[in-house]
Chains A and B, each alone.
Chain A
């Protein structure tokens, strides 16, 4: 198997992976999600058998890392319980990234969240999305549809 140098993947996909981490893990955990994703990818990389869909492979790792981080966070109840909703300071970098919209995206179930992000933000083809979700193309379509429907209901700018 002739794998490209790992740095080439990093150069090509780092922006997409980071955005995905913001959307699914949240601004506070995005850096961790980003680094954990790349370390896990680097660990698994030499044994990878296919290189025709590296983006889907990376984003599936990112999705799992976001879920792990979310679980770890919910196991730390003291840190969040009883605190008011987090309010972005005006000079925070996230304030110009429409944090409310991402917050709504984060409330979606994992597969819908991934599907909505990959489809709307990356314009990912359904075949690739199906690989990422390890589902059929029909199921991928349904996840996009259901996710967007919920967002339309919840999000009022």
Chain B
């Protein structure tokens, strides 16, 4: 049984304006009060949309939206970094700018700070070794295993690269098989090829 007054209330509610669209205003206030632990936004790229997430310390996650569901990535960040996750495009401006420049061929080195929270132990060593490989250069799985301090852990190095939370910026695409095979890539081999071609490492 619905009374007249209840119908009037419901109709009146339906005609109310939507909440202020300025989601960024809320995110900025949260950031100013130290309550924004993970800021994220989608960045367009020639490899499809990228989900980019930052903490106050730096870039913490980058993923190919077409390859890995954004919702799953954000849930993982909520669990492993902090549940205070908000969409805040202004907070990932620096990453967006550097990625744009990279894809336009105007940047050969990423300079944005990186937050290594999501990596542990050997994986961190492997990814740091990988981060030292320059634009246009390539290396091998066994070489990064050696630089990371465990020359025999070639397969483990491969797994570490496969779990790279920041592809492109930590250039795991520059790691190939000994003998020249492309190896694998989170995001699909065609993306690895695209990046290597962009950098002139393969023709």
Q: Which residues of A contact B (CB under 8 A)?
A: 2-8, 10, 14-15, 17-19, 22-23, 31, 34-35, 38-39, 42-43, 45-46, 93-94, 96-98, 101-102, 105, 116-117, 119-121, 148, 151-152, 155, 157
Q: Are A39 and B35 in contact (CB under 8 A)?
A: yes
Centre residue among A2, A15, A38, A157 by max chain B CB count within 10 A: A38
B19-A7 in contact (CB<8A)? no
Chain B residue at minimum C-beta to C-beta distance from A93: B17
Chain A residue contacts of B13, Cβ below 8 A = 19, 23, 97, 121
Q: Does B132 contact A (CB under 8 A)?
A: no
Q: How far is the CB of B146 from chain A (nearest CB, A)?
A: 38
* Distance of A64 from chain B, by nearest CB (Å): 18
**Which of B9, B74, B85, B86 sits near A120, CB closer than 8 Å?**
B9
State in angstroms the CA–CA spacing of A152 and B11 once bound together.
Answer: 16
Contacts of A31 in B (CB 8 A): 20
What residues of B have a CB within 8 angstroms of the CB of A3 in the complex?
78-79, 83
Residues on B with beta carbons closer than 8 Å to the beta carbon of A102 = 12
Binary per-residue interface labels of chain B (1-42) against chain A in the complex, 1 for a CB within 8 Å, 0 otherwise: 001111011111101111110010110011001010010100
**Contact for A39 among B4, B30, B77, B78, CB less than 8 A:** B30
Bound complex: CA A34 to CA B74 (Å): 24
B86 touches A97 (CB 8 A): no
The interface residues of chain A lying within 8 Å CB-to-CB of B3 are 148, 152
CB distance from A117 to the nearest CB of B (A): 8
| Chain B residues whose CB sits within 8 angstroms of the CB of A34 once the complex forms | 19-20
Q: Are A7 and B29 in contact (CB under 8 A)?
A: no
Contact present for B79 and A35 (CB under 8 Å):
no
Is there contact, CB below 8 Å, between A5 and B17? no
Known: A2-B79, A5-B85, A6-B84. A17 touches B9 (CB 8 A): no
> Once the chains bind, are B15 and A15 in contact (CB under 8 Å)?
no
Confirm or deny: B87 has a beta carbon within 8 angstroms of a beta carbon on chain A. Answer: yes
Chain B residues in 8 Å Cβ range of A10:
23, 26, 86
Across the interface, which residues of A come within 8 angstroms of B87, CB to CB?
Answer: 7
Question: In residues 74-104 of chain B, which contact A (Cβ within 8 Å)?
Answer: 74-75, 77-79, 82-87
B84 touches A45 (CB 8 A): yes
| A-chain residues with CB within 8 Å of residue B79 when the two chains form the complex | 2-3
Residue of B12, B15, B35, B82 most packed against chain A (CB within 10 A): B12
Nearest chain B CB to A43's CB is how many angstroms away?
A: 6
- Give complex CA distance A5, B20 in Å: 21
CB-CB under 8 A from B9, the residues of chain A are 101, 105, 116-117, 120-121, 151
